[in-house]
A and B are shown apart, each in its own frame.
Chain A
Amino acid sequence: MAQGARDRVTGDDAGRRTVEAVWRIESARIVGALARYTHDFALAEDVAQEALAEALVAWPRDGVPRNPAGWLLATGRRRAIDAFRRHTALDERYAAFAHDLDEGEATSGAQGGAPASGNQIPDPERIDDDVLALMFVACHPVLSREARVALTLRVVGGLTTEELARAFLVPVPTMQARITRAKKTLAAARVPFEVPEPGDRAERLGSVLTVLYVIFTEGSTATAGDSWMRADLAREAIRLTRVLMRLAPEPEVYGLLALLELTAARFPARTGPDGAPVLLADQDRRRWDRGAIRRGRAALARAVAQGRGLGAYGLQAAIAECHAVAPSVDETDWERIVVLYEALGRLAPSPVVELNRAVAVSMAQGPEAGLVAVERLAGGALDGSYLLPSVRGELLARLGRTAEARGELLRAAELCGNGAERAVLEGKAAGLV
């Protein structure tokens, strides 16, 4: 008896993992197709989730259907029709929906030569448009940043609410509420399910890129976890950027992909055996992921080849490439990095970029020149941040001005909020002789 029960639990678990795997592969296309049928993103997402819930019951019991995507789509459509019948007050919308349904079935019937069963995934170009529209809607500017991140991972990435909750270290009901609220916001703002008009496209694409970048950085500050680790978020961000690259092959999309690949290439070397962070200068470059570097450089070359100049992501990728191809810190093309930071500073002015430029100047022309560049930042937005004294301390140490260097590093440690980094700074101050 007990044995039987345990077997069943194990079987259900395997079934659940299969459903989740299919969902990861198919969800964007299913939600996209349903959103197009219903003209209602929130409803589409709801009924897609209902279809997923039904699959979680039916598949472990009856086996995985021959065409899992078709099964999910057909189930989602049935639930959408049910929902519309429940809301008969919305006559106008129901009529429009019914019309589209007929049109959709006529199309799939004509192409497939099969009876219009309503479970055909539409033709590839239409799917592409649907998935792209899905990305734009999930990253719509009416949503908060955390809502955009959650919705993108859920509808485009196919993560379940449980996986999202684990990845962002929040309780499941909190994540559920975040997604429900996001859908309500989109409905209240009457955000249409479509790829934006050319006039808005660049700005809206920028929002999509920001969301992908945020997902990546969430993942790159990794802590260990269970099946959906935070490090997996970084991988997922790369995958979603690849998806976007196929749908919208524009320079900054390649630029972002290049930046993410080149940054992720360093992941294997960025922590020591004890889990402590290892700075770029001290990393064992043999451990960098050559495949990721190759892919990142290829993406950057595509961005450059479009001949419209690099954007902010492309420039950061170009800087990352300088590091990726250098055998050591000393053999790095710091002059080029200085120029790239200058270009980045003009495109996206930020004190952190200026500080990075100052560090690059110190590497290219020596600590004296770097110190001059750093002093120019005093009294600006970085006052009160540990970054300024920490860099100043480093440069003073290289100039042999030990006492001043120690003072700056200790001040930096005082201002630093992160325990691990504070320890590094205190260690450096103590190591000065």
Chain B
Amino acid sequence: MSKYMLIMRGSEEGYEKFEEMDFTEVIAAMGRYNEEMVNAGVLVAGEGLSDASEGAVVDFSSETPVVTDGPYGEVKELFNGFWIVDVASKEEAVEWAKKAPLSGPGNKIEIRRVNGVEDFPQDNEWIQKETAWRKELGTE
């Protein structure tokens, strides 16, 4: 079993279309989807992100980092939220992603395996420190 992050990504266009939908319906559809994953015992974590226009971007392209407000002009896709599922295979993560109540142009889910401690050399002092931090912070 491995953990996979299902990353919700969308275009500006798809996002706008999403906003036209009935909010209670959107919540209900997402709720049913989340509940299905909880009932199947696979959902480990998940968060949704607020509007990108409320955020900021730090760009490291030039020597001094450049900060801009809101969605960055060149970004074609917005990162809107994520789920983490604990499943037997990448294919299973993909099948869960396919069940998400999303539609519209440019809306996507990217599936990425979450690295575990086992993916790093255990004798590295920073990896050992990280394990200790995780303990302090109570994160996985």
A290 at the interface (CB under 8 A from B): yes
Chain B residue contacts of A240, Cβ below 8 A: 41
In the complex where A24-B88, A235-B1 touch, is A291 in contact with B41 (Cβ < 8 A)? no
Chain A residue contacts of B95, Cβ below 8 A: 18, 21-22, 25, 68
Is the Cβ of A239 less than 8 Å from the Cβ of B92? no
Chain A residue contacts of B92, Cβ below 8 A: 21, 24-25
Q: Which residues of A contact B (CB under 8 A)?
A: 17-18, 20-22, 24-25, 68, 124, 128, 227-228, 232, 235-236, 238-243, 246-247, 268, 273, 286-291, 294
Q: B94 touches which one: A21, A239, A247, A290 (CB < 8 A)?
A: A21
Kindly state the separation between the CA atoms of A227 and B135 in the bound complex, as whole angstroms: 30
Which of A20, A22, A25, A273 has the most CB atoms of chain B within a 10 A radius of its CB?
A25
Question: Min CB distance, A156 to chain B, in Å?
Answer: 11
Chain B residue contacts of A68, Cβ below 8 A: 95
Chain A residue contacts of B94, Cβ below 8 A: 18, 21
Question: Min CB distance, B40 to chain A, in Å?
Answer: 6
Chain A residue contacts of B99, Cβ below 8 A: 25
B91 at the interface (CB under 8 A from A): yes
Is the Cβ of B40 less than 8 Å from the Cβ of A239? yes
Kindly report which residue of chain A lies nearest to residue B128, judged by CB atoms. A286
Is the Cβ of B41 less than 8 Å from the Cβ of A239? yes
In the complex where A20-B91, A227-B89, A232-B88 touch, is A239 in contact with B131 (Cβ < 8 A)? no
Chain B residue contacts of A286, Cβ below 8 A: 128, 131-132, 135
Question: Min CB distance, B91 to chain A, in Å?
Answer: 4
Is the Cβ of A290 less than 8 Å from the Cβ of B91? no
Is the Cβ of A290 less than 8 Å from the Cβ of B135? yes
Kindly state the separation between the CA atoms of A236 and B40 in the bound complex, as whole angstroms: 11
Chain B residue contacts of A228, Cβ below 8 A: 88
Chain A residue contacts of B41, Cβ below 8 A: 238-243, 246
Kindly state the separation between the CA atoms of A227 and B87 in the bound complex, as whole angstroms: 12
Q: A243 touches which one: B39, B134, B138 (CB < 8 A)?
A: B39
- Within residues 48 to 100 of chain B, which ones have a CB less than 8 A from any CB in chain A? 86-89, 91-92, 94-96, 99
Is the Cβ of A290 less than 8 Å from the Cβ of B40? no
Is the Cβ of B138 less than 8 Å from the Cβ of A290? yes
Q: B91 touches which one: A21, A232, A235, A268 (CB < 8 A)?
A: A21
B42 at the interface (CB under 8 A from A): yes
The 8 closest A-B pairs by CB, nearest first: A291-B140, A242-B41, A21-B91, A239-B41, A235-B1, A21-B92, A17-B91, A21-B95
A-B CB contact pairs (8 Å), 10 listed: A18-B94, A25-B99, A239-B40, A239-B86, A246-B41, A288-B135, A290-B134, A290-B139, A291-B139, A294-B138
Question: Min CB distance, A266 to chain B, in Å?
Answer: 13
Kindly report which residue of chain B lies nearest to residue A229, judged by CB atoms. B1
Chain B residue contacts of A243, Cβ below 8 A: 39-41
In the complex where A21-B94, A235-B1, A235-B86 touch, is A287 in contact with B42 (Cβ < 8 A)? no
Is the Cβ of B96 less than 8 Å from the Cβ of A25? yes
In the complex where A22-B95, A25-B96, A291-B140 touch, is A17 in contact with B89 (Cβ < 8 A)? yes
Chain B residue contacts of A242, Cβ below 8 A: 38, 41
Kindly state the separation between the CA atoms of A71 and B95 in the bound complex, as whole angstroms: 15
Q: Mark B123-140, 1 if CB is under 8 A from A, else 0.
A: 000001001101100111
Given contacts A242-B41, A268-B117, A290-B140, 15 further A-B contacts (CB under 8 A): A18-B91, A21-B88, A24-B88, A25-B95, A68-B95, A124-B32, A227-B89, A232-B1, A240-B41, A242-B38, A243-B39, A246-B41, A268-B118, A288-B135, A291-B140
Kindly state the separation between the CA atoms of A156 and B94 in the bound complex, as whole angstroms: 20
Chain B residue contacts of A247, Cβ below 8 A: 39
Is the Cβ of B117 less than 8 Å from the Cβ of A287? yes
Chain A residue contacts of B138, Cβ below 8 A: 290, 294
Kindly report which residue of chain B lies nearest to residue A295, judged by CB atoms. B44
Chain B residue contacts of A18, Cβ below 8 A: 91, 94-95
Is the Cβ of A287 less than 8 Å from the Cβ of B91? no
Kindly report which residue of chain B lies nearest to residue A26, judged by CB atoms. B95
Is the Cβ of B1 less than 8 Å from the Cβ of A287? no
Kindly state the separation between the CA atoms of A244 and B40 in the bound complex, as whole angstroms: 9
Chain A residue contacts of B134, Cβ below 8 A: 290
Kindly state the separation between the CA atoms of A246 and B36 in the bound complex, as whole angstroms: 11
Chain A residue contacts of B140, Cβ below 8 A: 289-291
Kindly state the separation between the CA atoms of A359 and B35 in the bound complex, as whole angstroms: 43
Chain B residue contacts of A273, Cβ below 8 A: 122
Chain A residue contacts of B135, Cβ below 8 A: 286, 288, 290
Kindly state the separation between the CA atoms of A236 and B92 in the bound complex, as whole angstroms: 14
Kindly state the separation between the CA atoms of A240 and B42 in the bound complex, as whole angstroms: 10
Is the Cβ of A291 less than 8 Å from the Cβ of B44? yes
Kindly state the separation between the CA atoms of A21 and B97 in the bound complex, as whole angstroms: 12
Is the Cβ of B132 less than 8 Å from the Cβ of A246? no
